[in-house]
Amino acid sequence: MDEETLQQIEQTIGYKFSNRELLQKALTHSSAVENRLLSNERQEFLGDSILGVVICLQLFERFPNYLEGDLTKIKSMLVSRKTCSNIVRQLDLQKFLKVGKGMVKSRALSGSLAAGLLEAIIAAIYIDSGGFKEARNFISRIFASLIDQADAKQAQGNFKSLLQQYAQQELNTTPVYELLDEKGPDHDKCFEAAVIVAKHHFPSAWGTNKKEAEQKAAFNALVELGILEGMPAELNAD
């Protein structure tokens, strides 16, 4: 990779490397090299842990009144592969990732590979003279707007709002809810609802009222979309 391109990447991430070989390695996928030790896999492993620690510190300091469960739910969304890959696309870094010929048109380039690239860059900054301080500065900077928007109440229960925000920002559409069924006497009814996003029908859910059924249906959609990666399974009860 030429000098001009490396400078462009450094400008984008806001960090100048003392050892640019670390950056080169972070930008090299295992499919592009014969020896996987020459790829970014080890950096990805380290960067994943550094990212988790920094996000935990940020949330711990930002939300002193949130309980462990609330913090865990927000962290799960922030460090998910979906979020990391979105950040890479926003920074337009995926185009610099060196991959094998068979991976050039792979969907993974904008998904898991992109997320791995972000983690590898974090590790590269940490290993370079930047250390933990610069790695934390980088993560804090690129996650700033997401952390500002983080709200435990939203993560804990307002799944319809979260799904609507995602659908409008990422898919330029609005979720549509359908009431599929209702059972029981008037004084003790339960309702089945489902949500449709961009013509995709997601798994339905039952609730003791229409609002609860729609919230659970939105939760099902968020889980399937990978937005609520790592959320407790018991929340997905019928």
Of the candidates 44, 48, 70, 192, the residue annotated as catalytic is 48
Active site residue 48: yes
CB 27 within 8 A of CB 17: no
Active site residue 238: no
Of the candidates 44, 70, 119, 214, the residue annotated as catalytic is 119
DSSP string, the chain: --HHHHHHHHHHHT---S-HHHHHHHTB-GGG-SSGGGSSHHHHHHHHHHHHHHHHHHHHHH-TT--HHHHHHHHHHHTSHHHHHHHHHHHT-GGG-B--GGGTT-GGGGTHHHHHHHHHHHHHHHHTTTHHHHHHHHHHHHHHHHHHH--HHHHHT-HHHHHHHHIIIIIS---EEEEEEEES-GGG-EEEEEEEETTEEPPPEEESSHHHHHHHHHHHHHHHHTTTTT--GGGG--
| Residue whose pair of structure tokens reads 């489902």 in the numeric block | 194
Active-site positions read: 48, 119
